[in-house]
Chains A and B, each alone.
Chain A
Amino acid sequence: MAGNEGFLDVGGAEKSFAGHRVLNGVDIKIARGEFVSLLGPSGCGKTTLLRIVSGLMSPDQGRVTLDGKDITNTPPHLRDVGVVFQNYALFPHLSVAENVRFGLRARKVPKDQHQATIDKFLGLVHMSAFADRPVRGLSGGQQQRVAVARALAVAPKLMLLDEPFSALDRKLRENMQIELKGLLRSLGITTVLVTHDQEEALVMSDRVAVMSRGTIEQFAAPSDVYLKPKTGFVLEFVGHSTRIAGTAGPAEGDILAVDTAFGRIFVQAGYTRGSAVTLAVRPERIALGAPPVKDAVNYIDAEVKEIIFQGSRIHVLLAGPNGASAMVETSALPPGLAIGTQTTLWWRLEDTLIYPAEAQAA
């Protein structure tokens, strides 16, 4: 994806429905060949953005550019943008092969190329054996494969996936995610996935755009979104975290002391003294037991309230003074740790995240 940063370029996209602002001036640039997810809760505007890119909806304001061409006012059938719909939207009156052929017929691809193209794409999604079947009897996973083959067969410049895995059960969903990602990468197709499932977004994407209330809160690589959430909303929406309310205290260099129910916690940040803040730590970044060093770490004491065994990982819920709580994720419990025991928790200074307190309400 060297260069060509703005292969898909959406600028200042706004959309309102009945006076309610759904998209609030969204800008996003996606590189050629990149896999990007739009992640957010329902109503955050991600589907609206996808429909604007596909041309099924036009923005009130803003423009959409694809491969250097302004397509803001181009109708969907002239856009070269493929869509896999949430319910797959296969044509019920056509067979599997005829569904794939539909786009070829619509685009007036010469007839002698149809069969080879159908064979190729049904082969890629492992559905060749089903070519002559009606689509009615197919399982959810099979329907999705056909929908993907149908969208790919017309060689779109851009592929849009609208919550394509939400109808599949967990195991199948995980397999399909890996498989589809591999397929789209091998074809080098620029892809935008809309999802409310953070795990799906993190697993599949080169970059994730976290959306809330019609704006993009953070657009970054999955590891950055998870480890360095830019806003309180991103922190809360993606993954679990221990959150501790506090007040900014004295600063020394770029190290800020924050007074909390657990005592003083240090963080690399600059906040005005006295301002209310929220500290956060990802649960797997916290260790149980005394810290091996006292330098550049935070450590607090808490009482074990609950131990939740989840197979490969264990969640430990702890309580501190004044209703403060913490959550730790570990793969093995230290000996002697049981519900009701006191323990020390520690984490590295740089794993401490800090947000203004009011952003937490998001």
Chain B
Amino acid sequence: MTTKLRFDPVLLLAVPAAIYMVIVFAIPVLWLVARGFMDADGFTLSNYIKFLSEPFNWVVIGNTLRVAFWTTVVCLALGYPTAVALARSKGAVQVAMLIAIILPLSVGVVVKTFAWQIVLRRDGIVAALLVATGVWDEPKLLLFTEHGLVMGAANVFLPFMILPIYSVLKLADPNLQDAAATLGAPPVFRFFNVALPLAMPGIIGGVSIVFSLATSMYVIPSLLIGDRFQTLATLTGRAFLLMRNEALGATTATILLFLAVAIVACSALLSRGKGDSR
């Protein structure tokens, strides 16, 4: 079967944005990637070989993925039930919930992160709560720890988990749960065989957005954990801003880009699998 691609003039509407993206995004990114494969003599893999043979850099990659993973897990654990509640709610309650989810997005990340610095202090509310509930014997500093970083990052990225799941659940037929029940499916069976598969495109969307945001976050780790803990993003920043090492910065940025693209590609593949009716 051959389908002829006919030119649709409506596509011209995307041209200004396309030109803009090429100039401010595609060309700089290509330059950056190319920079990582170059030295004074031209093309080389030495930047990568040097980077990957340094054990400290594997710690950095590990830090990046581990923090992103836990941030995603926390967002999913909090976001999925919220999305279900949001999809079920009606009228004013739903509007109020949507505002509560979307409004924090208008508060800058820097502001939010400074707020978290206060919350995560030794005398902050989280430490006080953990002591009061008996989880901790004495107040400890959460600021400058990975736990604190994950807490802060999950707070910032939570809406990006809730909204894609909500948008999928909103369209799901509520009769499907009832149909499953009348077919003899107990609640747990219904969850794993109806609710979860139907929410999957939203979950995949939310997970890939939050994970790629969390791998590339820069401000949040800078403020919540500091220089002792490096991720690919903070290392990229240091390389360009402090060390003036363009080759290193280009290398870490490219690895980060590769991770992000891999995540998006994987999730696209996964959701296509879901879309094929099975």
Closest Cβ of chain B to A300, distance in Å, is 52
In the complex, how many residue pairs between chain A and chain B have their CB atoms under 8 Å apart? Answer: 85
Chain A residues near B133: list those with CB within 8 A: none
Contact with B along A125-146 (1 / 0, CB 8 A): 0000000001110000000000
Interface of B is mostly: helix
- Is B189 interfacial (CB 8 A cutoff)? yes
A116 to B278, CA, bound (A): 21
Interface size class on chain B is: 20 to 34
Chain A residues near B193: list those with CB within 8 A: 102, 105-106
Which residue among A75, A81, A95, A103 has the maximum number of chain B CB atoms within 10 Å of its CB?
Answer: A103
Contact A83 B277 (CB under 8 A): no
- Is A12 interfacial (CB 8 A cutoff)? no
Contact B181 A56 (CB under 8 A): yes
A288 to B278, CA, bound (A): 63
- Is B173 interfacial (CB 8 A cutoff)? yes
Contact B182 A91 (CB under 8 A): no
Instruction: Look across to chain A and name the residue whose beta carbon is closest to the beta carbon of B175.
Output: A89
Closest Cβ of chain A to B262, distance in Å, is 26
Contact A151 B198 (CB under 8 A): no
Contact A154 B278 (CB under 8 A): no
Contact A106 B198 (CB under 8 A): no
Number of residues on chain A facing chain B (CB within 8 A): 34
Q: Which residue of B173, B185, B274, B276 is within 8 Å of A87 (Cβ)? A: B173
Contact with B along A77-94 (1 / 0, CB 8 A): 111111101010111111
Closest Cβ of chain B to A102, distance in Å, is 6
A95 to B277, CA, bound (A): 7
Contact with B along A42-82 (1 / 0, CB 8 A): 00000000000011100000000000000000011111111
Q: What 5 pairs between A and B have smallest CB-CB spacing?
A: A134-B277, A103-B183, A106-B185, A89-B175, A89-B179
Residues on A close to B: CB < 8 A? 54-56, 75-83, 85, 87, 89-95, 98, 102-103, 105-107, 134-136, 150-151, 154, 160
* Chain A to chain B contacts (Cβ below 8 Å), 6 pairs: A82-B183, A91-B179, A91-B180, A92-B277, A105-B193, A106-B193
